[in-house]
Amino acid sequence: METKTKFGNSEGPSRVDGRMKVTGRAKYSAEYSVKGVTYGVLVGSTIAKGTIKTIDTKKAEGAPGVLSVITYLNAPKIPGYQTDAPQPKGALKIFYDNQVYFNGQPIALVVADSFERALFAASLVSATYDKGEHQTNLKANIANGTAPRNGKDYIRGQEDAYKTAPIKIEQEYIIPTEVHNPMELHAIIARWDADDKITVYDKTQGVKSTQRSIAQAFKLPPENVQVTAPFVGGAFGAALRTWPHEIAAVLAAKVVKQPVKLVLSRADMFTSVGYRPHTWQKIGLGATADGKLVGITHEAAGQTSAYEDFTEGVVNISQLMYACPNVNTKYKIVSLNVNTPAPMRGPGEATGAFALESALDELSYAVNIDPIELRVLNYAETDPSSSRPYSSKFLKDAYQLGADKIGWSNRKQQPGSVTESGWLTGYGMGGGLFGAYRGAATVTARMMADGTLILQTAVTDIGPGTGTAMVNIASELMGVPAANIRFDMGDSSLPPSPTQGGSQVTSTVGSAVNDACKELKDKFMQLNGTNEGGSLDFVKILKDHNLPQLEVTTSSKGGAEQGKYAMFSWSVHFMKVLVNPVTGVVKIDKAVSVADCGHVVSPKTARSQIIGGSIMGTGMALMEEAVIDHRYGRLVNNNFGDYHVPVNADIPQVEALFVNKPDPYINPMGAKGMGEIATIGVAAAIANAVYNATGKRVRDLPITPDKLI
């Protein structure tokens, strides 16, 4: 695999935390040494709907080393859960009552003096149930779907105008449940420091949001909840919220009056921290004979849990991606006896892009126009939904970059007409977009007498290299070598900044770093009696004024420009695939992903983001599928042996390219998010390439050999 992405003559600085991670010095949430720690193991329900009739914990309680077995029968009341009103739909309240909503729902937590003893004792807990009739099959229940609260159908122009067009495409597209499976299992250590004060080491994408959630649940002042998460071993949306197992660990630590460590098993990960929901979609496209879009109709139905409504923007991409006068979309959710889904990289846009970009590809064959030419023909020069100008858009540049790199000129419009060494060969592409955001953040910048610049804010880093990007921004502004800059984060006691999600952190926190560094530099200029920034000798100025340090704390947020412009990041993904005509096996021969995401502030980590997103989209297209046995409402492949994810052998050379043109309005760096667009459109690009190779259109993911032979 090629390992270089050139930006002028520089590849950019390496990860500031890279050495810590590869040498094992980086501590993750389960790795902290806490005196007197005990161990928790969850016990899950064995039915998908009903009530607990009896729960027998005596054997478990009598097992060696067991300190407590917590169930709804003996759990202390969680203050934030108590209400006299009927329970509205919302997050699962653990150990609240005897209701069972899904198979695997936690019904007990065993706490013991060792993990092995807790695991054994958990196997001794048994329950009987009054079973209800469960529903876990999306297809069988689509007719029961309902519009989300506050959700409205979208209509621009004429509804279902595609039906009147000379050329029509009308097809259904399905993605199965796709499960969050980061390397690091979700884990928490909870330690009460006083009756009203707690410290947690937690896998979370937002220490401030976790702080708020725990404070609200246990009615504590937020400042009495200390959340620490400096390193997170991968998270694609599953750690955006506080889940029941985290509340359970905090509760258990209160019960046993000792710290409790709770690490989910890999099987627990399938039922405890969300997933990309099983979603049905129907696309209707209408166009003129020369390929100009007349109308788009996009309907979708996604699963949610019986106790909580989860929604995502599946159909939004059809409102925004192309210039089309008539667009209407409908979205509904289907309540099933499953755990609640969660955002998963590219959230609804990745799901919606599979349908829209597959349908566009089908249209390209119906009108006999090259897929790129078709997209350029329907290119939106202004935002179709709001009519606002874009803050920046260089998607045509991205089309050209990717086409040149993949060798698009070798593609033939006739499916199945190209072979290489006996393998059917096909080329496909798919695009995507995601909103480019800038929120609010506060950063402390402190220059020390030894020349060290310390930057502090609460944001977490789930792997994209946030610290590296922030150090790059500060180094350029202050003229301080990256080696002399320390970025402190993942600590709820630090100045507030957003949860890491939605591709907004570089824009939001980077802007605060930018503003803090400028303010700090201004203070140094005032001390130095100069109006020129130039090359300041910070160490000398501090020494001259007998100061040990100089610091500022600066808050930053977006302004009026967010209402004037439509702000998006854009992607286009190209795939060359080989398909064995006998076995139906699909191999990715070459992958090219191009991002139009403004100025790239950290080239190396940006490249890693795009490659990772391409790999994730490959899993979505070719192998990932959580399977439920609907007789029992139980997952049958909740492990890495049966739930397949891409491994090294599945992934070819991945080329990550960037337009790298700054956005002049979104923030001082001109940078926009790229984490989501790295996945949005990948699955469609692969499906489209498979069709180009074989003439077989697979509309229900994953594309497995049985669907091609």
- Rounded to an integer, what distance in angstroms lies between the CA atom of residue 603 and that of residue 150? 40
As a three-state string, the secondary structure of 262-307 is EECCHHHHHHHCCEECCEEEEEEEEECCCCCEEEEEEEEEEEEECC
- Rounded to an integer, what distance in angstroms lies between the CA atom of residue 316 and that of residue 383? 13
Of 590, 601, 551, 593, which is closest to residue 570 (Cα–Cα)?
593
Annotation marks residue 676 as catalytic: yes
For 269, list phi and psi in degrees, rounded to 5. Answer: -60, -25
- Rounded to an integer, what distance in angstroms lies between the CA atom of residue 495 and that of residue 514? 15
N- to C-terminal Cα separation, the chain: 30
Cross-strand partners of 179? 275
For 388, list phi and psi in degrees, rounded to 5. Answer: -80, 150
Cross-strand partners of 425? 578
Contact 480, 448 (CB under 8 A): no
Contact 73, 56 (CB under 8 A): no
| H helices present in 414-504, as ranges | 466-478
Q: Which residue has the tokens 């600085």?
A: 13
Contact 474, 480 (CB under 8 A): yes
DSSP codes joined into one string, 646-702? --GGG---EEEEE-----SSS-TT-B---TTTTTTTHHHHHHHHHHHHHS----BSS
Contact 374, 291 (CB under 8 A): yes
Interhelix angle 347-366/603-622, nearest 10 degrees: 70
Of 178, 184, 357, 676, the active-site residue reads: 676
Q: In the chain, how many H helices and how many E strands?
A: 17, 28
- By annotation, the residues acting in catalysis are 676
